[in-house]
Structure 1
Amino acid sequence: MVIFAQSYESVSIDELCAAAGVHKSSFYHFFASKQELVLAAIEVQWQSLEATLKQAFASHLSPPERILRFFELTLQHQQALQQQHGQMRGCPAGNLTLELSTQNEPIRARLEQLFQAWLIYFEQALNDAKAEQLIPASVDTTIMAQALLAYFEGVLLLAKGQNNPALIATLRSGVLALMHYQEKG
């Protein structure tokens, strides 16, 4: 989507219509505003992200493998976007949060809900890791899930800033250190 490739503020409804190959009247038939379109686009992006999350966080993988698999799938996706468009796109939810969290309350609130749903995947992997004694029993999995998501978003931001998806691969191992991962042996 054009907004995710550029920014919410920089793209006009005329540009959105041109990119979609529709008339402005058709746009307004389906959406009352650009905000309404973005809220609908967030839902589509969430469905795509959730499919990736379900694949990465499959229960047959060990808890650390789930989180590392998520980084790997993200790397593959960002590499494909870079090859297709010549640049990394980063995280649509992260990009919109950075741009609009203080300017557009309905979008900020929906993104907050999305991040909360996303955190459940990290927290479940951490709870499983704790049950398997792969991380210390003292780890607060709710706080650690937030730290892992923040780490992930930060890695994507740095990689986007450098237009270098390979940075995702180099920083993904930091997840294990952040988790206080204790290899059984």
Structure 2
Amino acid sequence: MKLHKIAAIWLVVSMTIISQDILAEGGTSSGVVSWVPVEPWLIYVVIGVILLGGFVSLNCIMSALSKSKWSLADALSEEASVVSLEADGSGGFKPRLGADGKPIMITELRASSSRMIALVGMILILLMFLGFGIFAMYSFAKTGVMPNPENMVNFLAAGMTLFAPYLVNQFSALFEKLAPKKS
């Protein structure tokens, strides 16, 4: 069965169980229900299922990428203009010259330390975000109250910073199209 079908089934089953629990506890038409803490083992099961789902998703992504031509090394590289070299016959290299007598410049991918630092930083921020999120979920499950909603909004907004480099890249591509062409 495909992963998206399993996720859809899981969502339907979860919503059914939640709605039955609300009705069984005397849920009213106004939607107001008194909080009854769940069993501690259930909290750990839910958190475990979320973590397991994350690991399964990562495994599916890694499996799909291993069957493609995509490369992390290429993704972390950036284009650089370098002089084309040719062997000079004495074991060394010399610049390849064009018809105008100038060295030929070629564009190739070179390792980018800034992109590697950004990747490692993003992974660390993501792990911290997930860790604090798990504590917030645990607190909500135990008390029925989210830990300070204003702080939660700030927390979720901070999680969006993981996508800031992508947004900057998209805006730069947009402005690059609007810039006058060099001749």
TM-score by length of 1: 0.26
The answer to which structure has the higher helix fraction is: 1
Structure number with greater Rg is 2
Greater strand percent: which structure? 2
